[in-house]
Amino acid sequence: MELLHITLIAILIVFLCGVRGDGTVPLPKLERNTLATLGDRGYRDSRRLDCGLWNIELHEFRSSGHVYDPSTVLTTSNFGKYPYDNIAMNRQHGALVNGGQGKFSFAELKHTDSQTKKVLTVYALQVDGTGSYAYWLPQGRSIDIPARPKHGDAKFVFTPNFGGCSWTVTPTRYGKLRLRHVTGNNETYEFNNLDVNQKGGATTYALQYKDYGYIKEGNQYVENSHAYAYMHYNNGWKLHVQQKTCTPNGSPSLSDVPQYGKIQKLKFNYPTETVLQTRYNQITKTTVYRIPIP
């Protein structure tokens, strides 16, 4: 009888929290089909995270020569272990500026810390004519993708990194999902003021700044988290989010192959090693959201 009681409690918790046995949680539904704006975008009683940005160190990550297919590198435990970055895509002028399908791969880049001798690894998305098809969703724009892809359709959606933006998913009447990468502080113009047809429908699900922009210390929210996110179709569309603290900023060096522009190296301005190693893990959390499809 006691075992039955425990089982019923476990089922109730799963029901209330929305967590499935596969570890996914439902992508939040927007109330009134409207994104949060201004002060409502975050937690008012939060404090800003001190990342030691006054003492930055320049790290140069060089390509290891290994190139990975998205389905290989993203569906492994690597996503929870190593940071991912889309910064090179933002610098490849003319590469799918309006969104749509392209061919992509991931470059593996490594840096050996001069003091600790620890090898740091970053995976970076790049345009690659020999890679796999996927969708690219530019910041400030929208694309439509099949709600239920057929055999041979692209199964991944990539978009720029998140540092205040929102990712909206709206099921349409035509068997499509309308995706938007809404720029932070532009929620009113890029989403809220659109009519229902422009949004794609009356019901929208979204990843907003509150969902990734904070970590929690005790009972207090601490702000200064960014995110890398992508969508993958595997028994339904799922939004995978890598929440990162003290995120580095950087710039890529691309090869001279104009149609592909493969990454040679990335230069990152990191916060101090002490901050990263003793106070915060760079990858704070990874979450998988399932997207309801009617």
Q: Residue 23 and residue 2: Cα distance in Å, rounded?
A: 26
For residue 5, tell me if it sits in a domain.
no
For residue 13, tell me if it sits in a domain.
no
* Predicted local distance difference test score (pLDDT) of residue 271: 66
Do residues 77 and 283 touch, judged by C-beta distance below 8 A? Answer: no
For residue 137, tell me if it sits in a domain.
yes
Lowest mean pLDDT among 67-76, 112-121, 206-215, 218-227: 112-121
Q: Residue 68 and residue 128: Cα distance in Å, rounded?
A: 10
The closest alpha carbon to 133, from 100, 95, 169, belongs to 100
For residue 2, tell me if it sits in a domain.
no
Please give the C-alpha separations between residue 197 and each of 48, 100, 203, in angstroms, as whole numbers.
38, 20, 11
- Does the pLDDT at position 294 exceed 70? yes
CA dihedral for 25, 29, 35, 40, sign (positive or negative): negative
* Predicted local distance difference test score (pLDDT) of residue 1: 45
For residue 273, tell me if it sits in a domain.
yes
Structure confidence by residue, pLDDT tens digits, 143-165? 999 999 999 999 999 999 999 99
For residue 12, tell me if it sits in a domain.
no
For residue 140, tell me if it sits in a domain.
yes
For residue 16, tell me if it sits in a domain.
no
Structure confidence by residue, pLDDT tens digits, 225-262? 899 999 999 999 999 999 988 777 777 777 655 555 67
What is the total count of domains within the chain?
1
* Predicted local distance difference test score (pLDDT) of residue 13: 40
Domain interval for residue 167: 25-290
